[in-house]
Structure 1
C-alpha cells in the first residue's frame, strides 16, 4: 500500500536575525567573547572578529588572509577618528546610524575605506538631498574625490537642469576649459543659447589673461541658429571678445549670409568650422508647446485669454491675458515669441482698426508691445518665414478689402511695404515654405469664394497666381509638414495636401464636421486643430471646443479632448521654451 505523504512545515523565524544581532551587540557592550580591539585616538573598541569579517570585505581580508593583523589583538585604524569608528561599529551591530552635515564626509571616507558599501551609499543619498544649484558643482568635485558615481550623477543632473542659476555661481568660473566645454556641448543642457553665450563670456572674464584664447572653441558650442537675430547681430556681434576672434566674426557672418539668402537649402555649402553651430539640433531641454490665444469665446465676446497645452502632461494652463480685446487680429510665432498683430479694438465707445503689435514669450509670460505695422488692418493673415513676418491683406481703416502686404524684419526691427497681392481676398489659407508664401482660396469683397492660388516669391518680392478648381476654401487654416501644405476644412469637411514639388493636390482623411474659423498648428510632427465653428446635421452653425490631432503617417484623426471653452477666429501657434525657465503668472 502507498505510504501517506508526510506533511512538512517550513518555519521561518523573521525575528531570529535581528534578535541575534541584538544579542551580539549586548555581548560586545559587556565585553563578553570579544577577541579584538579596534583602536583610534587612544580609544579602544572591543569587537568580535567573526562579526567584523561577516560585515565587510575589508575585515575579511584582514583577518582571513596572511596579514600580520590576523595574529594581533589590537588593530590601529589610522585616518578614522574614534567618534566615526564608534558610530560605524554601532552600525555594524545594530544597522542604525545617524548622518549629519557635520560628520557625513569623514563617515563617507571611513565607509569607503572599510568597504561598507550600503553605508557609503546612505551618505551619498544624504548629500543628494542637500543638493542645490549653489552647491552642485562643488558636489561634483567632491564626488570625484570620493569616487561616488551616484552623487556625481545626481549633482550633474541638477547642474544641467538649473544651469541658469548655476551659471552665475562662483563655482562655475572655477571650472576647467574641458569641464565647461562638456556642459556647453551637452544636448540636455537646460539653457537658452543666449545664456550659453553669456556663460562663456563670464567664464573668460574671470581670468582673461589665460582664458581669452579659448573664445573660438567655446563659441563654436553656441547653437547660433536658435538665437534671436537681434541679439545675435546687435549684441553678440559687437562684443569685444567676439570681435577679437577672426573665427567668431566669420561664424557670425556665415549665419548672416544664410539668413539673408532667404533660403535654408544652402547650409550644405558651409565650411566645416561653421557647420555645427548652424546645423546642430536644438537641445533636448527645449520643449514645444501649443498656445491658443484671442478669438471669440463662447460666442459672447472677443477673448483676452491665452492658454497653453503641454503635450507631456496633456494639460491646459492659463497664460497672462492680452492687454486689450482685439477682434480678428492675426497670430504668428517667430523666434519662439507669439506676435498678435493688428485687429479691431472692441471698445464700445470707439472701436478702431489697430496697427499695434503685442508679443508674448513663455519665458517671461508677460505681454509687451513691439514695432507697430505701417498700416492698421484686421481680418488679415500673418505668416512667419525665417526672420520675417508678413502681414497680408485684410480690412483697412475704411473697412474696405485691401491687397497690401508689409513685412517685419526681426533683424532690424522694422516694417516695410512689399508688393501687393494680385487679388485681394478675405480669409484665405496661407502657408510659407521653400522661399514662397502660398495663399489658397478665400473670398472676394462680395463674399464669393475665390478658386485661386496666389504665390509670393519672398526673395524676388513678386507674386504670381493660378486658377485652380480644387481650391475652394474660406476661413480655413493651412500648415506645412514635410514640404506639403495642408489646407484644413473651410466650410467643408475636406482636407487636402498640396505637394509643392510635384505641384499637385492630395486628398487626406476628412474632418468629422464641416469646419471653419478654426485654427491649426504643427506639434511633434502632427497637426493639431483647435475650436472653430461647424455646421451640424441640421445645417445650423455652432461654436466648437474641439481639440483634434491628425497624424500624416496614418492619415487618421484623433480627438485630444476639448478646449477649456468654445472658441473661434482665434490663433493657434507652437512656441518653444526651455522647460525649466517657463514661469506662470
Structure 2
C-alpha cells in the first residue's frame, strides 16, 4: 500500500532531537585528540607542541575562528608557532576547548588570564578576574591592579580601585605601595573616594613613600604633598607633625602648601580665596556593615525599643539588644564605630535622652542628654561630630540645631536652619550637612539647605523636584538621594538624586511600594529602604537600590518591626 494515498499529507513531518549529542561528542573528540588521531594542526610554544583539530579550535576559541576562516596563512600550514602565551596556559585552554572546563588556581591564574585574553575567551578571562577579586588583600591588590590594567580588564581594574579606596590605610602599609611609581602614587592619593578616618592617614602614607627612597623621591615631595589635603588636617597636627618634618621645612614649595593650610584655619573669612580640591572633604561612603533598624513602631502603631540587625553575609535579619526606652521617630547616626539613638517619641512624650550602642560589648548605655526634646528629627554624622537638626518638641516644629562631640561628650548649639523642619531628611555630603524637605506644621517643603560647619552658616541650595516630609535621605557615591515620603496628598514611591557638582536633581527608578516614614541607609554600594507606611499599614518590607542597574529589588523583610525605624550601618571590622 502506498503510505501517501488516501489523502495523506506529505508535508507533515517530525523532528527528532538528541539532547545529549554534543555532551557525548566532545568527550569523544577529546579522546580522539589524546590518541593523536585525525589531528590536522600543531600549536607550538617555546619547546612544547600540542596537536588539535582545526574545526574544534575554530568552533570554541574566537582567536582561532578568525585565523582559520579568514584565509590567513596559518589556515593552511600544519604547524603554528604561538609567542604570546605560556605553554601551560595554552594546554589548559586547548583542553577547555574540548571539555568546557578549566582549573583555576593561585599558581596558574595569571598565565591563564593572559592566555584567555589573547585567545578572546572572555568568559574564562572573567572567571580568572573573579578568582582574583575574591583573593584581594592589602598586600597584593596593587599588583593585581597593574596586571589587570596591562590586559585592559576594566572590571578587575575597577574592583581593585574600589578595594584600594576602601582599605587605603592598610594598603598604604604594604611593600607594593612603597614600590609604586610616582604617577601611580599620585593617581591614588588624589582620589576623593579614599576611605580614611582623617587626612592624617594620607599624609603619613605619602611621607612613608617618599622616605622609602628619600634620595630619589625627596625632590618629588612638593608634587606629592600638593595632592594631600593639608587644610583638612587639624591645626594641632599641622603644627606638631607637618611643620616639624625636615623635608617640608627645607622646601619653599612645601612650606607654601603648609601656609595655605594654616591660613585656612587662622583666617576663615579668606577661605573663599583658597577654595580648591585640597579644601574639599573626601567622600568615600562605600562601607560593608551590619544595618541596625532601631526603635520604630509595631504594626498597630505603638512605639518600641526593639532593635533588629541585618547581616549582609547571611542576608537575614536577627534580633539585637533592645534599647532601654521606647522610641519611634528616632534619629540614628553612627560615628566612631558606635551607634547613637537621639530623642524620639515614647508613646506619650518627646524625648531629649540619648542611647549609645557599642558593637564590641553588644550593650546600650545612656548618652549625654540633648539640649532639647525632639522627635521626627534628622541627624547626620560628619567629621567626628553629630548634628541633630529640627524635629518636633510636642508643641512646635523646630529650626534649632545642636552638635554633639563624642570626644568631649558635650553638646553645643550651632546656627539654626532657615526653616522649621519636622520629619525632614538630613545627611552629610562633601563636608556639609544637608537638610531636605519636612514640614513646619502648615506646609510641606521641597526646599533644601546646606550647613557649613567651618562658617557655622546655612545656605539655600537647589530644591527637590517634589515636596516631601517623612522621607528617607542618604548619601551614595557622592550623590544625595531623597526617597519616598508624603507630599500632602499622596504617599510616595518616587526617588530623586542630587548631584552637588552640577547642583541638579533628577528622578531615578521609583521604589516598588509607597513608603513614608522610610529609613534609608547606604551599604555595600547600594541604598536600603527599610520599612515605612504606605497609607494603609506599617511596613516591615525592605528593598534595595542598585545605582548601576537603576533598579529596586526586595530583600528579606524585618522580623519584629512594623516600620518607622531609624537606621544606621556599623562597618564590619
Sort the TM-score into its range (normalised by shorter chain).
Answer: 0.5 to 0.7
2:152 aligned residue: 147
CA contact (8 A) 1:124 1:151 kept: yes
Extract unaligned runs of 5+ from structure 2. 1-6, 249-253, 344-351, 390-399, 427-433, 450-458, 461-466, 475-480, 487-514, 520-532, 541-557
How do 1:340-489 and structure 2 match up within 5 A? 413=408, 432-434=416-418, 486-487=439-440
Tell me which of 254, 263, 268 is aligned to 2:264: 254
How do 1:36-47 and structure 2 match up within 5 A? 36-40=41-45, 43-47=48-52
Between the aligned partners of 1:510 and 1:144, the Cα distance in structure 2 is 45
Tell me which of 164, 175, 183 is aligned to 2:180: 175
CA contact (8 A) 2:68 2:75 kept: yes
Post-superposition shift, 1:140?
A: 0.9
Post-superposition shift, 1:432?
A: 2.4
CA contact (8 A) 2:294 2:306 kept: yes
Between the aligned partners of 2:293 and 2:31, the Cα distance in structure 1 is 70
Cα RMSD between the aligned structures? 6.4
TM-score (norm 2): 0.53
Tell me which of 145, 161, 165 is aligned to 1:160: 165
Between the aligned partners of 1:157 and 1:68, the Cα distance in structure 2 is 42
1:423 aligned residue: none
CA contact (8 A) 2:472 2:518 kept: no
The C-alpha deviation readout for 1:147-173, integer Å capped at 9, x for no partner, is: 333433333333334445434433233
Between the aligned partners of 1:153 and 1:433, the Cα distance in structure 2 is 39
Between the aligned partners of 1:93 and 1:415, the Cα distance in structure 2 is 70
The C-alpha deviation readout for 1:8-35, integer Å capped at 9, x for no partner, is: 3344443344444344334333333333
The C-alpha deviation readout for 1:291-338, integer Å capped at 9, x for no partner, is: 8879999xxxx998777899xx9998777777x8899xx989797887
Tell me which of 204, 211, 215 is aligned to 1:201: 204
In the alignment of these two chains, the number of paired residues is 443
The C-alpha deviation readout for 1:416-440, integer Å capped at 9, x for no partner, is: 999xxxxxxxxxxx99225xx98x9
CA contact (8 A) 1:136 1:159 kept: yes
Between the aligned partners of 1:411 and 1:129, the Cα distance in structure 2 is 36
Between the aligned partners of 1:81 and 1:340, the Cα distance in structure 2 is 59
CA contact (8 A) 1:223 1:282 kept: no
Between the aligned partners of 2:234 and 2:362, the Cα distance in structure 1 is 22
Between the aligned partners of 1:5 and 1:409, the Cα distance in structure 2 is 88
Post-superposition shift, 1:110?
A: 3.5
Q: Report the CA distance shift for 1:233/1:44 in structure 2 as closer, same or farther (over 3 A).
A: closer
Between the aligned partners of 1:178 and 1:364, the Cα distance in structure 2 is 44
Between the aligned partners of 1:160 and 1:409, the Cα distance in structure 2 is 28
Between the aligned partners of 2:101 and 2:412, the Cα distance in structure 1 is 77
Between the aligned partners of 2:66 and 2:445, the Cα distance in structure 1 is 74
TM-score (norm 1): 0.53
CA contact (8 A) 1:338 1:573 kept: no
Between the aligned partners of 1:233 and 1:79, the Cα distance in structure 2 is 55
SS at match of 1:89: helix
Q: Report the CA distance shift for 1:389/1:127 in structure 2 as closer, same or farther (over 3 A).
A: closer
Between the aligned partners of 1:117 and 1:390, the Cα distance in structure 2 is 51
CA contact (8 A) 2:189 2:228 kept: no
Instruction: Check if 1:561 corresponds to 2:539.
Output: yes
Q: Report the CA distance shift for 1:309/1:236 in structure 2 as closer, same or farther (over 3 A).
A: farther
How do 1:254-293 and structure 2 match up within 5 A? 254-255=264-265, 257-258=267-268, 269-271=272-274, 274-278=275-279, 282-285=283-286
SS at match of 1:549: coil
Between the aligned partners of 1:95 and 1:60, the Cα distance in structure 2 is 20
Post-superposition shift, 1:198?
A: 0.3
Between the aligned partners of 1:40 and 1:431, the Cα distance in structure 2 is 73
Between the aligned partners of 1:117 and 1:498, the Cα distance in structure 2 is 48
Between the aligned partners of 1:417 and 1:103, the Cα distance in structure 2 is 60
Q: Report the CA distance shift for 1:166/1:3 in structure 2 as closer, same or farther (over 3 A).
A: same
Between the aligned partners of 1:23 and 1:417, the Cα distance in structure 2 is 79
2:96 aligned residue: 91
SS at match of 2:43: strand
Between the aligned partners of 2:85 and 2:446, the Cα distance in structure 1 is 76
CA contact (8 A) 2:485 2:516 kept: yes
1:398 aligned residue: none
Q: Report the CA distance shift for 1:333/1:255 in structure 2 as closer, same or farther (over 3 A).
A: farther
Q: Report the CA distance shift for 1:129/1:296 in structure 2 as closer, same or farther (over 3 A).
A: closer
Tell me which of 238, 241, 252 is aligned to 1:239: 241
Q: Report the CA distance shift for 1:170/1:61 in structure 2 as closer, same or farther (over 3 A).
A: same
Between the aligned partners of 1:416 and 1:44, the Cα distance in structure 2 is 76
Instruction: Check if 1:214 corresponds to 2:240.
Output: no
Extract unaligned runs of 5+ from structure 1. 225-230, 343-354, 392-404, 419-429, 441-475, 489-493, 503-508, 512-518, 530-546
Between the aligned partners of 1:114 and 1:526, the Cα distance in structure 2 is 46
1:102 aligned residue: 107
Between the aligned partners of 1:251 and 1:331, the Cα distance in structure 2 is 34
Tell me which of 26, 30, 54 is aligned to 1:25: 30
Between the aligned partners of 2:72 and 2:41, the Cα distance in structure 1 is 17
Between the aligned partners of 2:197 and 2:111, the Cα distance in structure 1 is 40
Post-superposition shift, 1:202?
A: 1.9
SS at match of 1:6: coil
1:348 aligned residue: none
Q: Report the CA distance shift for 1:582/1:43 in structure 2 as closer, same or farther (over 3 A).
A: closer
CA contact (8 A) 2:297 2:561 kept: no
